[in-house]
């Protein structure tokens, strides 16, 4: 017979057979059996009848032994013990019995862990072996926030120095120049490089770094790069401003501060440090902003770095680049002549006014090992004059343009800060408020380009048009373009879509205007000299009155409008508007698409009449 020793609350050391009939035991020895039944939900009366006891006796046991106060774990242990004894003493066990025994054993272990955890000195390791193993090892010191060890700093520097292109190596060799001004091609990694340079300087020298951009989104591009660099060596950076320390600096020294400033950098006048002025040739009010920026680097230990693609000779930064502004404030004998030609500056040099200048065209970059672009493809995608401006570092002369550069730059804003009703990442970026859209096909010889522009119309009479999105489409047939337009506009409540229905535009118009199309207000625009003149006249009025707004980072909007020039038709009898010296107007597609939306408002800016009157 299988016996088990059970210690009860009432009688310690009582020996009973778990499998024996309780009725064969003395009444006092039936106490534990009564308790087990009670914990399984039996009533005092049921227990008394089952064990042939007096009901008051059972109730007295329960009150004295405090059966109701027993913790759940004790009740579970009693059930497990009883069931285990039944299975253990079973002579012929089945496969399912062994499976159940294994499961019950694991439950007993789990309850034992809980007992250890609840005992004095218990900890989470008692419940979980993995936690116990982890805690058993030597504890590593917690990593400092935003901190680089000497090894991490060296790994980061080695990583980047090993992959730099030649022109970036030149910038690195001249990083300690007091003032640098760099005229560069688009898309050659300047922002990427200077983000790395600033981070390494903060780590090694402990100097503050200030990033100035036309918009908050542009400034945060620096931040995104820096966060990504740090992750390469296992450092997680956070904060704005970002405070960085390293083992390369003395203990107790203040952290280097990294500030990422958009149009709000006027509020940072109390800051000081190295500053990086991104796309300074495209910033409105450069004179005022540069005063604030220069004040941040007043002390000679700070560095000033300006880098940008060229805009127009009319920009206020142009005299700084040529040295004309300095000469105006000097006596004739103290004036200097600065050669700002590409030949003179392609390798970089310290000019006569002490400023280190360099010009890096896309051809220079490729010659220095830059292999991330296809030169032939760039030429195919951009007419000669646009290519010269974007990639050849040639300034635009807007004297013949239908739109003035300074008027256009003044329309830029920091949309991320100012447009609180527009959330680009949302499924419905502008909610259910109506938007207008314009589509312009590319019909010039340079390629099959098109543009789609989405505009938020004025919320009140005489209000502002806001360019929410702009897209350039290349190499797509009319059906693919129509599908693209449907996909983009599906996120908006579009009530008007103006389409130039010539060439490829005719096919797009037919697909979007047919019955059952999900787009409302599809309107055909048939170009003529009069229609073009009317659209330009309307746009000029809107621009002059400051009624157009777009994000400061959308530089292609400015260059697109500037490229439109007044010219004579081939017959010589009329004037018209075209873009580019070659007569192609593909690179003005964003401007024309925008004008397709502006023309939906009457020329006088008033609301179109909502009712008509018929005279018989």
pLDDT digits (tens, 9 = 90+) for 350-382: 999 999 999 999 999 999 999 999 999 998 878
| 147-391 CATH fold | Rossmann fold (3.40.50)
Q: Where are the alpha helices (DSSP H) in 145-241?
A: 150-161, 166-173, 190-205, 216-231
Asked whether the beta carbons of 318 and 395 are under 8 A apart, the reply is yes
Secondary structure element (H or E) that encloses residue 265, with its range: none
Per-residue exposure over 380-409, b if at least 16 CB sit within 10 Å of its own CB, e if not: ebbbebbbbbbbbbebbebeebbbbbebbb
The tokens for 351 are: 């000019």
**Predicted confidence (pLDDT) per residue in 233-253, tens digit:** 999 999 988 999 999 999 889
Q: Is the pLDDT of residue 555 over 80?
A: yes
Residue 261, strand partner residues = 212
- DSSP states of 303-330 as a string? -EEEEE---BTTSTTHHHHHTHHHHHTS
| CB-CB contact of 396 with 312 (8 Å) | yes
Query: How, if at all, do strands 242-246 and 147-148 pair?
Result: parallel
Q: Which of 445-449, 478-482, 518-522, 571-575 has the lowest mean pLDDT?
A: 445-449
Position 616 confidence tier, pLDDT thresholds 50, 70, 90? very low
CB neighbours (10 Å) of residue 508? 30
Determine the number of helices (DSSP H) and then strands (DSSP E) in the chain.
Answer: 24, 20
Contacts of 531 (CB under 8 A, 6+ apart): 525
Bridge partners of 523? 498
Q: Using CA atoms, how far apart are residues 398 and 382, in angstroms rounded to an integer?
A: 18
Residue of 421 and 577 predicted with greater confidence: 421
pLDDT of residue 473: 86
The average confidence (pLDDT) of the chain is: 85
Convert the pLDDT of each residue in 62-100 to its tens digit: 888 888 888 887 878 778 777 777 778 888 888 887 887
Contact 116, 126 (CB under 8 A): yes
Give the phi and the psi of residue 171 in degrees, each rounded to 5: -60, -40
Confidence of residue 265 (pLDDT cuts 50, 70, 90): low
* Confidence tier at 530 by pLDDT (50, 70, 90): confident
Between CA 130 and CA 113 the distance in angstroms is 13
User: At residue 584, does pLDDT exceed 50?
Assistant: no
* pLDDT tens digits for range 187-211: 999 999 999 999 999 999 999 999 9
Six-digit token pair at 338? Answer: 């600065």
Cα distances from 452 to residues 413, 469, 524, 566, 577, in angstroms, run: 21, 8, 15, 23, 20
Check whether 614 has a pLDDT greater than 80: no
Choose among 503, 470, 483, 497: nearest CA to 585. 503
Residue 596 CA to residue 174 CA, distance in Å, equals 48
Query: Which residues is 469 bridged to in the sheet?
Result: 454
Nearest to 15 by CA among 3, 31, 24, 1: 3
Give the integer Cα–Cα distance in Å for 276 and 191.
9
Q: Write the CA distances from 300 to 208, 209, 247, 274, 586, integer angstroms.
A: 13, 14, 25, 10, 47
Phi, psi of 276 (to 5 degrees): -120, 120
Supply the DSSP symbol for 495: E
Same fold across 147-391 and 400-598: no
Cβ of 154: how many Cβ atoms within 10 Å? 13
The pLDDT value recorded for residue 271 is: 82
Which among 65, 56, 13 has a CA at the least distance from the CA of 36?
A: 65
Domain ranges of the chain: 4-134, 147-391, 400-598
What is the three-class DSSP state of 85?
A: helix
268 pLDDT higher than 80:
no
Q: Whole-angstrom Cα distance, residue 405 to residue 316?
A: 11
Q: Quick one: pLDDT at residue 15?
A: 37
Q: Which distant-in-sequence residues (6+ apart) come within 8 Å of 495 by Cβ? A: 434, 435, 436, 520, 521
- Contact call for residues 212 and 294 (beta carbons, < 8 A): no
Residue 7's pLDDT is what? 36
Give the confidence band of 101 by pLDDT, cuts at 50, 70, 90.
Answer: confident
Altogether, the residues listed in the chain come to a count of 616
Q: How confident is the model at residue 8 (pLDDT cuts 50, 70, 90)?
A: very low
pLDDT at 427 over 60: yes
At 581, is the pLDDT very low, low, confident or very high (cuts 50, 70, 90)? very low
Rounded to whole angstroms, the Cα distance separating 605 from 541 reads 9
Task: Judge residue 102's burial from the number of C-beta atoms within 10 Å of its C-beta, 0-12 exposed, 13-18 middle, 19 or more buried.
Answer: exposed
- The pLDDT assigned to 163 comes to 92
Q: Are strands 15-16 and 564-568 parallel, antiparallel or unpaired?
A: unpaired
CA gap 250, 324 in Å, rounded: 44
Which of 243-247, 264-268, 301-305 has the weakest average pLDDT? 264-268
Q: What is the pLDDT of residues 125-162, one digit of tens each?
A: 666 766 666 666 566 666 789 999 999 999 999 999 99
Determine how many CB atoms are found less than 10 A away from the CB of residue 363: 16
- Which architecture characterizes domain 400-598 according to CATH? 2-Layer Sandwich (3.30)
Structure tokens at 209: 């770094």
- DSSP bridge pairs for 494: 435
Q: Report d(CA 82, CA 87) in Å as an integer.
A: 9
What's residue 571's pLDDT?
Answer: 63
For residues 26 and 156, which has the higher predicted lDDT (pLDDT)? Answer: 156
- For every residue of 530-566, DSSP letters joined together read HHHHHHHHHHHHHHHTT-EEEETT-HHHHHHHHTEEE
Kindly give the pairing relationship between strand 548-551 and strand 522-525.
unpaired
Phi-psi region of 565 (alpha: psi -120 to 50; beta: other; left: phi over 0): beta
- Would you tell me how many other CB atoms lie within 10 Å of the CB of residue 74? 14
H/E stretch holding 147 reads strand 147-148
Phi, psi of 58 (to 5 degrees): -60, -45
Q: Alpha-carbon dihedral of residues 359, 363, 367, 373, nearest 10 degrees?
A: 120
Q: pTM of this prediction? A: 0.67
CA 27 to chain centre: 78
């Amino acid at each position: 017979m299988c016996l088990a020793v059970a210690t009860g609350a009432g009688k310690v050391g009582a020996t009973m057979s778990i499998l024996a009939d309780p009725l064969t035991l003395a009444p006092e020895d039936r106490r534990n059996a009564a308790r087990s039944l009670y914990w399984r939900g039996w009533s005092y009366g049921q227990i008394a009848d089952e064990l042939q006891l007096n009901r008051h006796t059972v109730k007295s046991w329960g009150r004295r032994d405090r059966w109701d106060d027993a913790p759940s774990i004790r009740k579970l242990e009693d059930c497990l013990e009883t069931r285990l004894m039944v299975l253990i003493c079973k002579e012929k066990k089945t496969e399912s019995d062994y499976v159940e025994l294994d499961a019950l054993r694991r439950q007993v272990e789990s309850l034992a862990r809980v007992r250890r955890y609840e005992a004095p000195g218990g900890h989470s390791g008692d419940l979980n072996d993995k936690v116990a193993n982890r805690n058993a090892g030597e504890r590593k010191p917690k990593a400092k926030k935003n901190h680089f060890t000497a090894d991490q700093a060296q790994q980061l520097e080695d990583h980047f120095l090993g992959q730099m292109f030649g022109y970036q190596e030149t910038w690195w060799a001249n990083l300690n120049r007091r003032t640098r001004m760099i005229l560069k091609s688009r898309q050659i990694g300047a922002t990427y490089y200077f983000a790395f340079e600033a981070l390494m300087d903060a780590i090694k020298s402990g100097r503050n770094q200030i990033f100035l951009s036309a918009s908050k989104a542009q400034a945060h591009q620096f931040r995104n790069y820096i966060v990504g660099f740090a992750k390469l060596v296992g450092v997680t950076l956070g904060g704005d401003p970002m405070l960085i320390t390293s083992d390369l600096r003395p203990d107790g020294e203040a952290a280097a501060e990294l500030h990422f400033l958009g149009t709000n950098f006027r509020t940072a006048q109390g800051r000081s440090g190295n500053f990086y002025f991104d796309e300074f040739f495209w910033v409105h009010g450069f004179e005022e902003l540069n005063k604030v920026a220069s004040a941040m680097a007043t002390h000679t230990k700070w560095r000033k770095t300006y880098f940008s693609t060229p805009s127009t000779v009319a920009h206020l930064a142009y005299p700084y680049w040529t040295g004309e502004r300095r000469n105006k404030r000097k006596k004739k004998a103290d004036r200097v002549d600065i050669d700002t030609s590409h030949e003179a500056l392609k390798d970089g040099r310290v000019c006569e006014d002490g400023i280190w200048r360099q010009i890096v065209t896309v051809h220079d970059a490729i010659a220095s090992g830059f292999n991330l672009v296809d030169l032939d493809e760039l030429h195919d995608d951009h007419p000669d004059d646009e290519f010269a401006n974007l990639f050849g570092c040639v300034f635009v002369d807007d004297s013949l343009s239908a739109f003035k550069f300074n008027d256009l730059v003044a329309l830029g804003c920091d949309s991320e800060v100012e447009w609180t009703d527009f959330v680009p990442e949302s499924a419905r970026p502008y909610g259910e408020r109506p938007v207008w859209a314009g589509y312009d096909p590319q019909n010039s010889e340079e390629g099959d380009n098109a543009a789609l522009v989405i505009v938020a119309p004025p919320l009140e009479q005489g209000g502002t048009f806001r360019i929410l999105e702009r897209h350039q489409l290349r190499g797509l047939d009319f059906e693919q373009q129509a599908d693209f337009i449907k996909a983009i506009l599906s996120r908006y409540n579009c009530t008007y879509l103006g389409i130039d229905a010539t060439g490829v535009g005719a096919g797009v118009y037919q697909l979007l205007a047919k019955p059952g199309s999900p787009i409302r207000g599809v309107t055909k625009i048939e170009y003529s000299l009069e229609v073009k003149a009317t659209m330009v006249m309307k746009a000029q009025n809107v621009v002059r009155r400051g009624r157009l707004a777009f994000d400061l980072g959308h530089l292609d909007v400015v260059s697109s409008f500037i490229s439109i020039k007044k010219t004579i038709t081939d017959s010589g009898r009329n004037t018209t508007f075209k873009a580019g010296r070659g007569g192609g107007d593909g690179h003005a597609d964003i401007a024309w698409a925008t004008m397709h939306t502006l023309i939906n408002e009457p020329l006088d800016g008033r609301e179109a009449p909502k009712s008509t009157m018929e005279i018989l």
